[in-house]
Structure 1
Amino acid sequence: MGSVGVPVVVGLDNGGTSNNATVLTLDGRFLVDGLMETPSDVRSGPQVAVEALARAFDGVLAHTGVPRELVRAVGLDTPGPASATGVISSRGSTNFAHPAWRGFDVRGALQRRLDLPVVYHNDGNAAALYAHHVHFGSDAMRRSSVSAIVGTGLGGGVVEGGRVVTGAAGMAGEFGHVHIPLTGLLGPGQAVPTCACGFSGDAESVASLTAIERNLLPYWLPRHPGHPLAAEPPARAAKLVRGYGERGDTLAREVFAQQAMALGRLFTIAANFTDPHAYFVGGGVVEAAPEFRDWFLATVREHTVLRDEQAEVATFALVPERDMAGARGVAIAAVEALRAGPAPGPLVGG
């Protein structure tokens, strides 16, 4: 429970079905140990969903016993695509299918509803930020990292000096749509994989749940006649592959080896752009039995080509506590926004 008189921020992780909430004191203590989920109601449109976020906000304060007047800011994350300021894409998205979401300023709407400053990141950036701060601790503000979050798609984030690099339009760290070399990754006769975004051969077209269903299982199943997954509907088969992989199934390991290779090639590209201290992998693919998880991360590392100088200082690790990473990440971002001073003036005249 909350300590009397200690200011806090609230972190709200908005998802396709649920909101998760947490509370972080300004001196760095999370007051919620696990998930605090409530319905997100996003399918009912933005007005209903903003009220659901407000209920999540009120609920986590009631749970922790923190008075509302001690809240200094709110962190919010949602699935993308969205701008750096929290405006949902004008083209909509899988999670925001209701027409009223297109071009909707969810950050601004929640800020008006709660009458508190709201700091926004997409869910991939939020998870990346949490991984960075947990891994580096007191050194977080002096370190850099890149994260790849494997889910239905492939998200991620770039963190420099403890802060997320958002980019001019909020699209930095969209690793899923970076094109990767395919030579040596694809099997004999394997078609160039396609992504839901319309690209061919980007990282998400290999390393995502959608990729397993659309691109990888259609290639590998005919090469394993009689495999039980062939009898399953494609979407269900894709979700079952990880369980087979944990048990050492040959087909499943071939699928995940291609995904790990794709992430290694993605990290190789990142190494030449950002040269980070750490590379993090998160998502359902690594929320698995320890042997499978360690094998997958080792395979990613094996296919990440670093210079000797980079290899000496870089680390590879998993994003911890994925279910809580979003809410905790945006809570950290809210604290950092409160601590940040005014932007410096120009050094030369315009």
Structure 2
Amino acid sequence: MDSATVPVVVGIDNGGTSNNTTVLTMDGRFLVDRLVETPSQVQAGPEAAVAAMADAFDGVLALTGVARELVRAVGLDTPGPASATGVISSKGSTNFSQPAWRGYDVRGALAQRLGLPVVYHNDGNAAALYAHHVYFGADAMRRSSVSAIVGTGLGGGLVENGRVIAGAAGMAGELGHVHIPLSEVLAPGQPVPTCACGFAGDAESLASLTAIERNLLPYWLTRFPGHPLAAEPPARAAKLVRGYGERGDELGREIFAQQARALGALFTVAANFTDPHAYFVGGGVVETAPEFRDWFLATVREHTMLRTEQAALATFALVPERDMAGARGAALAALEAVRAGPTAAPPLVGDATLG
């Protein structure tokens, strides 16, 4: 069947700098096989950002040759925290720092702009949903998983029986702000790290790009005096650490080993709350060379304390198509909503074809 005549849903992954979009047919085929990015304009405020989302929507339809009247719904994800209906937290968030974003109904604004139903998840939930359905396939509706998505902050998602656990206010799965035991994570004499949210010792205060800049790199540079990163501005130095780690640099490996231990501590907490079938890790921390990401995932697993019965059943894996996972997960959520309800069949994830 010609994909240009099949009804579709569109997924929009909104980030601090870019919108990434995809198109998913109602029979479960992605029509985009690569990143389709456009500027998100988030720092310009809500009105400009919603206009940018609408432009991204129009652009991906033009790219895939799909007529607008074939779109049945849109899936949107943004960085959290936000409510289940897409209202940004009253305290804002890392990417939505301007006062105008606080309490802003981003889902409702985009729905009004496009004149289409919009289904909302935060970005961690969207990526978690995609990882879950890709990994488990036909068994997705009978499996559970926990995902940690490491980026500027630390997102996460809980999936039970193939569906995201949103919580009463829509803020379940905010794994970055779970407090973790630090005794096995911090080095001797290392200060308790602080998070941008105001917490001290939560998972995001260690496992995020922001954590590298404000907590980890300042400490580890005192242990490696004369390291080249000491001469760089803090924000740039934090972004360069991953490359050093990939090349086996001792400081870089110390920092990422600490992040992996923090994720292991977080997954240990999750194991005692949800006892999932799978633990997924995604985000920039694993968008790296195979040797490095395999080492990182193995370190996370080593520091996740599971009971014998749990370890026999648990899987540790990377979020697939990591750059595209958010948009694809948002599209899957929209597809499920269109298919209408708790008795709907699980989404099918097929190969992408373009054009």
TM-score tier after normalising by the smaller chain length: over 0.9
One-letter identity of the residue aligned with 2:112: R
More displaced 10-residue stretch of structure 1: 32-41 or 42-51: 42-51
Aligned residues of 2:22 and 2:328 also touching (Cα < 8 A)? yes
Q: Report if the CA contact (8 A) 1:2-1:65 is conserved.
A: no
Answer 1 or 2: higher relative contact order, Cα 8 Å, separation at least 6: 2
2:227 aligned with 1:227, yes or no?
A: yes
Cα gap change, 1:2/1:212 in structure 2, threshold over 3 Å: closer, same or farther? Answer: farther
- Counterpart mapping for 1:198-237 below 5 A: 198-237=198-237
Aligned to 1:194: 194
TM-score by length of 1: 0.94
Deviations 1:186-217 (A, max 9, x none): 11111111111111111111111111122112
SS in structure 1 opposite 2:72? strand
Q: Which residue of 2 aligns with 1:307?
A: 307
Give the conservation status (yes or no) of the 8 Å contact 2:9–2:335.
Answer: yes
Select between 275-284 and 102-111 the one with higher mean Cα deviation: 102-111
Specify the alignment match of 2:3 in structure 1.
3
CA contact (8 A) 1:46 1:101 kept: yes
Matched, 1:95 2:124: no
1:126-205 alignment, distance < 5 Å: 126-205=126-205
Query: Partner residue of 1:261?
Result: 261
Distance 1:237 1:31, change over 3 A: same
Report Cα offsets for 1:142-166 as digits up to 9, x if no partner.
1110000111111110011111111
Tell me, in whole angstroms, the C-alpha distance in 2 between the residues paired with 1:192 and 1:205: 9
SS at match of 1:158: strand
Aligned to 1:346: none
Could you tell me how far apart the structure 2 residues matched to 1:254 and 1:79 are? Answer: 28
1:213-263 CA-to-partner distances (Å, cap 9, x unmatched) read 221122211212221111112221111111111111111111111110110
Q: How far did 1:48 drift? A: 2.3
What letter matches 1:248 in structure 2? Answer: G
Report the 3-state secondary structure (helix = DSSP H, G, I; strand = E; otherwise coil) of the residue aligned with 2:216: helix
Opposite residue 249 of structure 1, the aligned amino acid is D
1:342 deviates by: 7.2
| Cα separation, partners in 2 of 1:222 and 1:61, compared to 1, 3 Å | same
1:334 equivalent in structure 2: 334
Does residue 37 in structure 1 map to residue 37 in structure 2?
A: yes
Aligned partners of 2:125 and 2:156 also within 8 Å: yes
Aligned to 2:23: 23
C-alpha change, 1:43 and 1:212, in structure 2 (3 Å) is: closer
Distance (Å, rounded) in 1 between the aligned partners of 2:172 and 2:142: 20
Q: Is the 8 A contact 2:81 2:174 kept in 1?
A: no
2: CA distance between counterparts of 1:165 and 1:303? 25
Q: Are 2:123 and 1:113 equivalent residues in the alignment?
A: no
In the TM superposition, what is the alpha-carbon distance from 1:98 to its structure 2 partner?
Answer: 3.6
Contact 2:261–2:303 (Cα < 8 Å) also in 1: yes
Cα displacement string for residues 258-292 of structure 1 (whole angstroms, at most 9, x for unaligned residues):
11011001001101111111000011111111111
Change (3 A) 1:216 1:342: closer
Query: CA offset at residue 4 of structure 1?
Result: 4.5
The alpha-carbon deviation at position 43 of structure 1 amounts to 2.3
Contact 2:283 2:323 in 1 (8 A): no
Does the 8 A contact of 1:277 with 1:313 survive in 2? yes
Q: TM-score, normalised by structure 2?
A: 0.93
CA contact (8 A) 1:193 1:215 kept: yes
Residue 227 and residue 67 in structure 1: after superposition, are their counterparts in 2 closer, same or farther (change >3 A)? same
In structure 2, distance between residues paired with 1:97 and 1:192: 24
Distance 1:90 1:193 in 2: 24
1:264–1:305 CA contact under 8 A, matched in 2: yes
Q: Distance in 2 between matches of 1:38 and 1:320?
A: 22
Do the aligned partners of 2:94 and 2:196 also contact (CA within 8 Å) in 1? no
Counterpart of 1:294 in structure 2 is: 294
- CA distance in structure 2 between the aligned counterparts of 1:190 and 1:10, rounded to whole angstroms: 46
Q: Which amino acid aligns with 1:52?
A: A
Aligned-pair CA distance for 1:2? 5.5
Q: How many residues align?
A: 343
Matched residue SS, 1:327 = helix
Q: Structure 1 stretches of 5 or more lacking a match?
A: 344-350
CA contact (8 A) 2:94 2:153 kept: no
Evaluate the alpha carbon distance shift between residue 290 and residue 94 of structure 1 in structure 2; reply closer, same or farther with a 3 A threshold. same
Calculate the aligned-residue CA RMSD, in Å: 1.6
Greater displacement, 311-320 / 90-99: 90-99
Given that 2:155 and 2:174 are in contact with CA atoms closer than 8 Å, whether structure 1 keeps it comes out as yes
Instruction: Label 1:231 to 1:4 Cα distance change in 2 as closer, same or farther (>3 A).
Output: closer
> Whole-Å Cα distance in 2 between the matches of residues 191 and 2 of structure 1?
59
Instruction: Tell me by how many angstroms 1:301 deviates.
Output: 0.3
Q: Kindly report which structure 2 residues correspond to 1:235-254, keeping only aligned pairs within 5 A, or say none.
A: 235-254=235-254
1:347 counterpart residue number: none
Post-superposition shift, 1:119? Answer: 0.2
